[in-house]
Structure 1
């Protein structure tokens, strides 16, 4: 029987898959996992799970949430029509006039 092994490096950390072991029962699988996967790197705990007991859900079966579109945060996400907003044009004209008056004074 094949047993999948997940290792946690530090307390509170995630368990990550680190391999598998072949063993006839749970007790032997735990011993093999401790020897093969627990002694080479810092290890806080090990999960040993029968491969048959691991379920998988993929995106064909369920529509996962995905990521939220945050493209509005980037200027490149906006389409420009080539026309500036009237407020921008008025402001630019006012600033240009103010610069001219400063230069004349």
Structure 2
């Protein structure tokens, strides 16, 4: 049986595929993965998964991102000029109020 091995360098990193091992059961697969893939580089953890248990969804099977218009999520779709003018006017108002407080 073929087992796929995923390795994590440091805690918090993503696990990345580093190869596979041939083993009759999970216990042997874990041992072989540790020997073959855990000793060569600094390793925080290993994931060992039966190859036939790994599924894939690709672009032919699903439409990633959907068909809904979600352009509102990206800043490039907004008109920032009115907001910038409002911020500028607010800053002028604040500076004028501070100046008047200083004169009083």
**Normalized against structure 1, the TM-score is what?**
0.62
Give CA-to-partner distance per residue, 1:27-71, whole Å, 9 cap, x none: 0000000000000001000000000100000100100129x888x
Aligned residue pairs, count:
71
- Aligned to 1:27, the other structure's residue is in SS state helix
Does 1:60 find its partner at 2:52? no
Measured in 1, the distance between the counterparts of 2:49 and 2:35 equals: 16
- Aligned to 2:62, the other structure's residue is in SS state coil
Aligned position for 1:4: 4
Aligned position for 2:44: 44
Measured in 2, the distance between the counterparts of 1:37 and 1:65 equals: 35
Aligned position for 1:16: 16
Report the structure, 1 or 2, having the larger helix content: 2
Q: Is there any run of 5+ residues in structure 2 with no aligned partner, and where?
A: 77-104
Measured in 2, the distance between the counterparts of 1:3 and 1:53 equals: 9
Measured in 2, the distance between the counterparts of 1:18 and 1:50 equals: 14
Of structures 1 and 2, the larger Rg is shown by 1
- Aligned to 2:36, the other structure's residue is in SS state helix
Measured in 2, the distance between the counterparts of 1:52 and 1:31 equals: 19
